Amino acid sequence: MSDGKPRRARGEGTIRERKRKIDGKVRVVGFEARVSLGYDSKGKRLQRSLYGKTRDEVRGKLLKAQQSIADGIAPARSTSESAFLTHWLETLRGRKASSTVGTYERTARLYLTPWLRSRSLVSLRPDDLEKFYRDLAKRGVGTRTIAKAHATLRAALTYAVKTEKVTRNVAAMIDPPAYQPEKKTVLDQEQARRFIAALDGHPGEALFVLALLTQIREGELLALTWGDVDLPMRTVRISRTLQDDERGRPRIGDRPKTDAGERVVLLPKVAVRALQRHKPRSATDDALVFPSAAGKPLSRQNVLQRWLYPVLDECTCGHKPHAGRDTDATGARLEPAEANRRAPDAPKSCKACGCCQYRARLPKVTFHELRHSGATLLGDRHLAALQQRLGHSSSATTADIYLTLPVAAQKPLADRLDVLFGGTNEGTRTKKAPSSGKKKPRKT
């Protein structure tokens, strides 16, 4: 005799309603199926639960799980996101660059783990990810960060599929969020000369001159030791890069990401002179070229905020903010009263606020944009040599990203078109002599 409940279909297995009390009433919020995996060594029955919003959805999952068991493959289990992401990140250490693992780690901690806390990897759907990205955008998260979150989740789910934690990678089923890289700010030739002139006497002179004129990456420069520098031969050997540990502290890390990153860069004479002035007499081969006051690697943020940006604020009235007047030995700005005491000969406008009111009006570039500026100034005349200098594996990367040519570079092309289509002769053609009205006799 039926009790009013729907009978299970043949082969359906155990499917039950999942109920929850809502507004004082018990309502069905989904369905659950349990599939048997056999018994453990102690004779305890092993089961796995599969969830869905409808009975048909759960039935499909159950049949697929039963088929997997028949084929000798255990169905994907509902995996805790925090445990899985932690395990996945551990598998990357030693196989991926520390900077890459660090990026994955920060992205997972800040965005993925909070979002996945109430979800399981198995139950993820493509529309869940799209809603997640829309919510991040509404919160003011930038498109680049959202793209990083997508890339991190896709990499994690790729590993989950390989290890049979899940059966599909839902992140690979949707288009990644659109990301438009910001346009780089580069220094032109005149600005670059003013920048180098402003570095005279600055503690970061050699560092910034090398960044602009050798196009070596920031992490590679900060990891240099004097054993990597050969001043008589005018070369620098790149074999390491600076990484951040789990707490964000700088440390000398791994080799560059690619084989092309390990290279020898030839120094221009301007860079050699800057290094000669910078090198201490007691420097050893294993000593850092650009250490902190404690002899440890410099912090990227300190280099940017305490050294680079004050140089870009160079005064045009003759008072240099960095020349031991407005900054201390580390390049940090002093209080106005202390700056005035150190600069009795500074112009009145500088004494009024402790820093300069007049600027050289150099663009506010980042450290990486110094490298970009140097590559742009060299142009594309020696693309293969520039690719080697920058440490790129492909010349396409060098040409597409780092070569920003001015509009004037198109002039030879426009001149060539004038030659082909007569543009250069326009307005210069000689006029025909007026006809006298007499016809010339025909030749017989």
- Does 398 or 246 have the greater pLDDT score? 398
Q: In this structure, are residues 239 and 262 in contact, taking their beta carbons and an 8 Å threshold?
A: yes
Average pLDDT over the chain reads 76
Q: How far is CA 373 from the centre of its chain?
A: 18
- Is the pLDDT reported for residue 323 higher than 60? no
Statement: residue 60 has pLDDT above 80: yes
Better-scored residue on pLDDT, 425 or 92: 92
Given this model, what pLDDT does residue 32 score? 87
Contact at 8 Å (CB) between 30 and 56? no
Quick one: CA dihedral 334, 336, 338, 343, positive or negative? positive
pLDDT at 439: 58
Q: What is the pLDDT of residue 359?
A: 45
- The pLDDT, as a whole number, for residue 42 is 66
Residue 144: closest CA among 179, 175, 111, 109: 179
Measure CA 214 to chain center.
21
Quote the DSSP letter at residue 288. B
Please list, in sequence order, all residues whose beta carbon lies within 8 angstroms of the beta carbon of residue 413, skipping any fewer than 6 positions away.
none
More confident residue, 411 or 425: 411
Among the ranges given (44-58, 106-120, 263-277, 417-431), the one the predictor scored with the smallest mean pLDDT: 417-431
CATH number of 81-173: 1.10.150.130
pLDDT at 321: 46
The 3-state DSSP class for residue 235 equals strand
pLDDT at residue 153 in the model: 93
pLDDT at position 66 is 77
The matching CATH number, chosen from 3.40.50.1980, 1.10.443.10, 1.10.510.10, 3.30.2000.10, for 189-314 is 1.10.443.10
Q: Is the pLDDT of residue 381 over 70?
A: no
How far apart CA 377 and CA 392 sit, in angstroms, is 17
The pLDDT value recorded for residue 154 is 94
Is the pLDDT at 11 greater than 60? The verdict is no
Q: Which two tokens stand for residue 140?
A: 């003011």
Report which listed range, 35-39, 64-68, 339-343, 428-432, is most confident: 64-68
What confidence score (pLDDT) does residue 24 get?
81
